[in-house]
Structure 1
Amino acid sequence: MIQKESVDLTISLKDSKYYLNRELSWLEFNYRVLNEALDTRTPLLERLKFTAIFSSNLDEFFMVRIAGLKQQIQAGVTKLTFDGCTPLEQLVAISERLHFLIKEQDYLFEYTLRNLLAVQGIHLVNYIDLDQKQRTYLHQYFDENIFPVLTPLVVDKSHPFPYISNLSLNLGVVICNPETKEEHFARVKVPSVLPRFVALPQRLYSQTNNKSIVWQGIPLEQVIAHNIEALFSGMIVQECYPFRVTRNADLSVEEDEADDLLLAIEQELRKRNIGRSAVRLEVHASTPTLIRQQLVEDLELEEIDVYDIQGLLGLKDLLYFLSLPYPKLKYESWSSIVPKDLNKIKKITSSNNQKIESNEKDIFSLIRQSDILVHHPYQSFSASVEQFIAQAAYDPSVLTIKMTLYRTSGDSPIIEALIAAAANDKQVVTLIELKARFDEENNIIWARQLEQSGVHVVYGLAGLKTHTKIVLIVRKEGEKIRRYVHIGTGNYNSKTANLYTDVGLFSCREELGADLTDLFNFLTGYSCQKLYRKLLVAPVNMRDRILSMINREITHCRKGGKGHIVAKMNSLVDPKIIEALYLASQVGVKIDLIIRGICCLRPGIKGISNNIRVISVIGRFLEHSRIFYLYNGGKKEVYIGSADWMTRNFVRRVEAITLVNDPNISYKLEEILRITLEDNSQAWQLSSNGNYIRRFPMSNQYEKNSQKIFMEMALKSIL
């Protein structure tokens, strides 16, 4: 029920007590990821996957967010965040929460998932449990395949503490000289070039009460540890324990001082690979105090930075088991559906600038009939977005292709199509964002390849990341020039398009074509364009336009009407937007927020956010689409685009959100929002104290899993 409150002017909506901490909110998101591994409804190997994702997410969190907090503390920063925390207070709170979460993950894998794997015939065993034949095999395997790769590094007066590379798994070894009785510490890096798990040959599988074994193996570090004497001939190995180090890996590029941005990024990448200061140490819980203290001291860490692990370190390597051919232990396979209309178009594949095509219609004729919405991964990315660009590359009527690339896949058909287009004498312009975090190296490779093929490559704007997802194709049709556009919420990446939920709009509306032309002129040349027809563009006008739309809902409510906002995105952080939503809630605007990750808004506070509901959906696909709905006094508006409601998206990134004009597409987007809001299977609801409570169907309700519903809808659409 909507509650209209009289606005209490004595309440400051900027008060820190009305905001959740950004970093702690992210930790709660990652905990929801871990819960997919805890959930017995999740297939077993998928539970391993979510365990691995939880670990991989934490690695990046430490490399960027924790590293940033530590730098602030070292610089003496005591400024409060808008939720009222200093950097030190945040670091302490994060550490307390993380120690609990990591223990829960550790226990889950060691005492639940490992046993469930064994029940299914997948045995990840410890070296101590092997019989003599198995040990003999692994000793020979070590000599032939592992020993030549290893390099022991000792620490003594003539050998300083060795550099420990970022995210490396290592063995800390205490050795003793039998003649002098002197003890030394040595480090042996577990080589990442070798498989993390060593599989035993089938003939050596253990006997397990007539239960069949389908895979058996042990962790690589245990094979090394139990053959470690080979590295220290004539010495006595007294102790050997695994540890893992995480370092600051964020890039710092002074763009204004960089004559060549690509070169500057490359130099920073080399620094990242060499590594900066350590920010986390993971050790096995059995590691003796002396070894632990030496590592802490030499890595210049504190006890708060140390995480004790009972079982395996580096659980992101559990993704290895997803490669095992056991479909019954995974999600039921899903192949994206080609929408009926797109099935009618000619299919183009290109190789070495040669094209092969089938069917008769081209995609441009379909777009001329009406705008087209695609919903990935339920609908095919390759049959829509990739075909759009591939057909443009070979269409003799196409004059120009312009697009942005934030992240793309290693074997991208889009890159191939752009190269073919340049070879076909089309003007091809690609804006590649070199600063896309942890994809910088890949983007440099593609930038060089495209440049060498005759594509005009632009590296973005100084001080801004180009995050928008747009394509503009200019086509000559008779005496007329027509512009075709794609505006999406996701990256032009065929791999993530099968894993992330995103939406994209194809259109040839003149106003959208004109807007994208102006936006590309802003990105590639000198332009001070401030006014756009249908687009909301950051950093130009997006936040102001969103604030004005929220204020419009407030005005409708104050005049006795109805106000309703539904917003789906990855993160909500910007305090100005949150303050506006609080004010809207106070006057009676109903606000439904679908926020996958970080949410700094506190819903359900009496007199502040009674009318705000926040849910997060975590499932087999990563929720990534950004969709925004406003009731607007009955004249409903729906927008899609690339931006979350974070300060960085409004101020430090180039983003684009478009108004959807086609009423049929608006209805489809509203339906996506409605189905997602009704999810009672994968959805979590945020309470005002920052805790998330998982939804389950009531006794009289059917289970509603929004992602399953979208899959079923996609299948029905082609019948």
Structure 2
Amino acid sequence: MESIYMNRELSWLKFNARVLEEAESQEVPLCERMTFVSIYQSNLDEFFMVRVGSLQDQMLLDHEIRENKTNMTAQEQIHEILKEVKKLNRRKDQVYTELMKKIEGYGIKLIDFASAKPDEKKFLESYFNQEIMPLSSPTIVAKRQPFPFLRNEEIYAVVVLETRNKKEKIGIIPCSNNMLPRMIELPGGKGRYMLLEELILHYIGKVFKGYKVKGKSLIRVVRNADIDADALYDEDLDYREFMADLMKQRKKLSPVRLDMSREMDQAVIEALCRYLEITPDRVFKSEAPLDLSFIFQIQDLLRKNSELFYEKRVPQKSPDFRENESILDQIREEDKLLSYPYESIRPFLKMLTEAAEDESVISIKMTLYRLAKQSKVVEALCEAAENGKEVVVLVELRARFDEENNIRWSRMLEQAGCQIIYGLEGYKVHSKLCLITRRSEKGIEYITQIGTGNYNEKTARLYTDLCLMTVNEQIGMEAARVFQALTKGEIIEEVDHLMVAPKCLQSKVIALIDEEIRHKKQGEDAYIGLKLNSLTDKRIIDKLVEASKAGVRVDMIIRGICCMVPGIKGETENVHIISIVGRFLEHSRIYIFGCGERTKYYIGSADFMTRNTVKRVEVATPVYSEKIKKRIRGLFDLMLSDNKKARTEDYHGKYSMIKCEGQPCNSQEMLYQEAYDRAAIKTENKVVE
């Protein structure tokens, strides 16, 4: 029998393969296909830095750790990862080459020296001599000159040099230079370019005069970024300064992967591996450039060709909000829901700004995880504090790869007079929770916002997320308890309405699944619908298997990692799983339990991963508005009907595109069109009035 479990890391690689499929798809506009190649590469880098880095650390332990679903050791997982990545990278190289050939048809060409014309070669040599040589910092590895530190994700040219007495040495030159353009334009205005690192590699012999060049390649190191901040923290240290120092340390962690642009002698590769302290199986040869960020420059050059890009879409005004009226008053009338990126984040930002200026508002409390570089959220919170309101902000400094950004924002908020909390020992705070407390004629009033995504204006245009705003008193009181616990460094032990990890989310989800099992056993209809980024929590997976065995229908829309295999007879045959990978990053989390009038709806910040359900502070909220329940069900059902960007998982754990039979349904495009239509109807009604 097929296993009901899939390894987490191998499942993630299947997700990145689906990203690569978008690059391969003829239906995706050409420049957007290039974006997906770049996303595949950056995803893979982060995967190695975090997940492979973590597995590498596990291998250093005295005792062997086995993964709890497939029983694989860290070494076995890394072996399978490397094997699969080599296959995927061949596909990546192939699609990159295909796309660049198509780009040539639009007048943009990246050349190498084999295709350079004589006058271009003359220009490039002169450019190298005058612009690059004076700035180069060469190193020859020798007894008195140790192997240099190679920065994470930066490109270096490495060369094998032969001395006059036939001894071999290794020479290295950094190719990343902020003073010079990555794409060097050749004269003549014909859209011909060469990458800076290729030019350096070609003329590298000029830098190492007196040596014979025996072999050369571009290389790029990806380093481990997995640091356990809590394990290293000393309570006598200032936490913010400790995190700032930790970020410097992370840049120096051990390598997990070495990328090369050319074949080199095996002895040289082995020498590089010794210097970098990695094994030869971590070396990857790439036909595509080692860093694909220049793709966005090519896109800018082609921006006038609209057919090469997705049709322009702009977040629309929500028709549920009236213009030129108080946002807070409108939320008091009825609960409000915003659906990003289809609807604009502006009503939420306006709510914050209004609260900052409203004399009846006593306090604003908020959890911040990832913010935009120019954050209007921070501006509103600073304004509120300067207006004399109590502003309590939990800034999670352990938001991976956003730590430095969050340190900067925390200093700015503190200077404005906000009370800053830095999370809990042992638990990341990942919740998306905002609580505005107001003194009204009836007494204290809470306006609570709970979302599925970060308070980030940039990602609100790129990620699909939901944002609920309510004056429900019970939800407001429980949100207040969450903030009270956070300020005391504690966690919530019990709640009636919200789901709050780490103590009251997993157990509530399991209880709700049990309730559906009970209904099914009583001969009633039962249903579970989940939309998540990832599913890895074994306790929840096992409970879903139990539900399937009982005959409960389970529909899941899981974008990324899914450690559960559906459709296995007698085990998961009532489980249906799809993954949508398209123009926008699916990020919203929806939990649905029940049928008919007894259906319960929740939205929240938590995926069903153990790290979310028992190792973080997460908040999910029930939806009590009948109008919003209906809307969320409409969103969910439309996504289940997607036959253009959805892949279905079979009982082998393999994903394949859903066949488009009948009416085509690209759920993301349809939801955007719906947002345009709703905004247009509102405008028409306004004109009629």
Q: Could you state the TM-score of these two structures normalised by the residue count of structure 1?
A: 0.91
2:227 aligned with 1:263: no
For the residues of structure 1 that align with 2:63 and 2:654, how far apart are their CA atoms?
29
Q: Is the 8 A contact 1:394 1:421 kept in 2?
A: yes
Within-5 A mapping of 1:199-278: 199-200=184-185, 203-205=188-190, 215-253=191-229, 254=231, 257-259=234-236, 260-273=238-251, 275-278=252-255
What residue is the counterpart of 1:190 in the other structure?
175
Which residue identity does 1:581 align to in structure 2? L
| 2:594 counterpart (631, 635, 641) | 631
Q: 1:575 to 1:139 in 2, by over 3 A?
A: same
Q: Which runs of 5+ in 1 are unaligned?
A: 1-14, 206-214, 346-358
Which residue identity does 2:249 align to in structure 1? K
For the residues of structure 2 that align with 1:192 and 1:83, how far apart are their CA atoms?
45
Q: 1:672 to 1:196 in 2, by over 3 A?
A: farther
Q: Is the 8 A contact 2:58 2:65 kept in 1?
A: no
Which residue identity does 2:183 align to in structure 1? V
Question: What is the deviation of 1:19?
Answer: 0.8
| 1:557 counterpart (511, 520, 524) | 520
2:339 aligned with 1:375: yes
SS in 2 for 1:17: coil
Which residue identity does 1:266 align to in structure 2? A
SS in 2 for 1:127: coil
Question: What is the deviation of 1:272?
Answer: 1.1
| 1:139 counterpart (105, 120, 125) | 125
What residue is the counterpart of 1:613 in the other structure?
576
Q: Is the 8 A contact 2:320 2:336 kept in 1?
A: no
2:379 aligned with 1:416: yes
Question: What is the deviation of 1:548?
Answer: 0.4
Question: What is the deviation of 1:420?
Answer: 1.3
What residue is the counterpart of 2:283 in the other structure?
306
What residue is the counterpart of 1:101 in the other structure?
88
| 2:352 counterpart (355, 374, 389) | 389
Q: Is the 8 A contact 1:247 1:277 kept in 2?
A: yes
Question: What is the deviation of 1:192?
Answer: 4.8
What residue is the counterpart of 1:470 in the other structure?
433
Identical positions, percent: 36
SS in 2 for 1:428: strand
Which residue identity does 2:312 align to in structure 1? S
What residue is the counterpart of 1:354 in the other structure?
none
Q: 1:195 to 1:651 in 2, by over 3 A?
A: farther
What residue is the counterpart of 2:31 in the other structure?
45
Q: Is the 8 A contact 2:492 2:504 kept in 1?
A: no
Q: 1:417 to 1:702 in 2, by over 3 A?
A: same
Deviations 1:479-519 (A, max 9, x none): 63221111000000111111100001011111111111001
Question: What is the deviation of 1:107?
Answer: 1.5
For the residues of structure 2 that align with 1:527 and 1:414, how far apart are their CA atoms?
26
Deviations 1:154-200 (A, max 9, x none): 1112112111121121111123344x444321111111525663242
Cα RMSD, aligned residues only: 1.8
Q: Which runs of 5+ in 2 are unaligned?
A: 682-689
| 2:143 counterpart (147, 157, 173) | 157
SS in 1 for 2:3: helix
Q: 1:340 to 1:653 in 2, by over 3 A?
A: same
Q: 1:192 to 1:627 in 2, by over 3 A?
A: farther
Q: 1:27 to 1:316 in 2, by over 3 A?
A: farther
What residue is the counterpart of 1:63 in the other structure?
49
2:492 aligned with 1:515: no
Deviates more, 1:362-371 or 1:125-134: 125-134
Q: Is the 8 A contact 2:316 2:342 kept in 1?
A: yes
Question: What is the deviation of 1:530?
Answer: 2.4
Deviates more, 1:32-41 or 1:136-145: 136-145
What residue is the counterpart of 1:12 in the other structure?
none
Q: Is the 8 A contact 1:64 1:249 kept in 2?
A: yes
Q: 1:46 to 1:596 in 2, by over 3 A?
A: same
Question: What is the deviation of 1:126?
Answer: 1.4
What residue is the counterpart of 2:8 in the other structure?
22
Which residue identity does 1:74 align to in structure 2? L
Question: What is the deviation of 1:295?
Answer: 1.1
Q: 1:148 to 1:203 in 2, by over 3 A?
A: same
Deviations 1:272-316 (A, max 9, x none): 12x111111111242232322221222122122111112322234
Q: Is the 8 A contact 1:172 1:241 kept in 2?
A: yes
2:66 aligned with 1:83: no
What residue is the counterpart of 2:319 in the other structure?
340
What residue is the counterpart of 2:451 in the other structure?
488
SS in 2 for 1:615: strand
Which residue identity does 1:183 align to in structure 2? E
Deviations 1:12-44 (A, max 9, x none): xxx993210000000000000011000011111
2:624 aligned with 1:645: no
For the residues of structure 2 that align with 1:464 and 1:16, how far apart are their CA atoms?
35
What residue is the counterpart of 2:684 in the other structure?
none
SS in 2 for 1:243: strand
SS in 1 for 2:188: helix
Q: 1:145 to 1:412 in 2, by over 3 A?
A: farther
Q: 1:135 to 1:157 in 2, by over 3 A?
A: same
Deviates more, 1:605-614 or 1:525-534: 525-534
Q: 1:204 to 1:661 in 2, by over 3 A?
A: closer
Within-5 A mapping of 1:659-674: 659-674=622-637
Which residue identity does 1:710 align to in structure 2? L
| 1:115 counterpart (58, 79, 101) | 101
Q: Could you state the TM-score of these two structures normalised by the residue count of structure 2?
A: 0.95
What residue is the counterpart of 1:535 in the other structure?
498
Q: Is the 8 A contact 1:176 1:235 kept in 2?
A: yes
SS in 2 for 1:485: strand
What residue is the counterpart of 2:152 in the other structure?
166
2:663 aligned with 1:702: yes
Q: 1:669 to 1:105 in 2, by over 3 A?
A: same
Q: Is the 8 A contact 2:4 2:572 kept in 1?
A: no
Q: Is the 8 A contact 1:56 1:316 kept in 2?
A: no
Which residue identity does 1:546 align to in structure 2? V
For the residues of structure 2 that align with 1:305 and 1:561, how far apart are their CA atoms?
54
For the residues of structure 2 that align with 1:194 and 1:58, how far apart are their CA atoms?
28
SS in 2 for 1:599: coil
| 2:309 counterpart (296, 316, 330) | 330
Question: What is the deviation of 1:318?
Answer: 2.6
For the residues of structure 2 that align with 1:133 and 1:571, how far apart are their CA atoms?
54
What residue is the counterpart of 2:687 in the other structure?
none
Q: Is the 8 A contact 1:69 1:91 kept in 2?
A: yes
Question: What is the deviation of 1:525?
Answer: 1.8
Aligned residues: 675
2:419 aligned with 1:434: no
Question: What is the deviation of 1:527?
Answer: 5.0
Question: What is the deviation of 1:234?
Answer: 4.0
Q: Is the 8 A contact 2:393 2:420 kept in 1?
A: yes
Question: What is the deviation of 1:256?
Answer: 5.7
Question: What is the deviation of 1:564?
Answer: 0.5
Which residue identity does 1:193 align to in structure 2? N
Question: What is the deviation of 1:321?
Answer: 2.7
